[in-house]
Amino acid sequence: MASDNAKWTRPSSVPIPTVWRRCTGLKKMPDGTIPKFVIQDVPDDMHQEFIDFMTKHFFRDEVTCECLHLLEDSVSMAEFQEVYKEVLKDGVGLIAFVDEPLEPGQKPKIAGLNLTAVAHKSDHFTADM
């Protein structure tokens, strides 16, 4: 068993990005097509897009964030964005892309996100993190 103080690291045998699932949507789009999605780890070169998407959509739509008007609080937004940057370094963020043909140099369209964090019972979270 690892030491209680050892920081978790993603196994090198699990590359980033790993595609975890491909799935088909349940609803038709306005053009009549049914979308397909790819669920995978957040690629290292898309961390900023992840943060921008979270900032634009999560803080606008999530009930607690909306009630607290977090989008209007520049200090809170900057702190959350810094936390996201740090947590993404652990390689445990997931992103769902619309599975569609791309032009050269085009990035895939983000359909959804999930950010998990590794925490240990001995972690002490303080305001100065």
Is residue 121 very low, low, confident or very high in pLDDT (cuts 50, 70, 90)?
Answer: confident
Helices assigned H by DSSP within the chain? 47-53, 59-61, 63-67, 74-88
Asked, for residue 64, whether it belongs to a domain, the answer is yes
d(CA 55, CA 72): 11
Give residue 67's domain range: 19-24+40-115
Asked, for residue 122, whether it belongs to a domain, the answer is no
Check residues 5 and 16 and name the one with the higher pLDDT: 16
Asked, for residue 109, whether it belongs to a domain, the answer is yes
Look at the chain and report how many structural domains it folds into.
1
Whole-prediction pTM: 0.82
Would the pLDDT of 2 be above 60? Answer: no
Would the pLDDT of 19 be above 70? Answer: yes
What does the pLDDT read at residue 1?
45
Chain CA centroid to CA 43, Å? 10
What does the pLDDT read at residue 43?
95
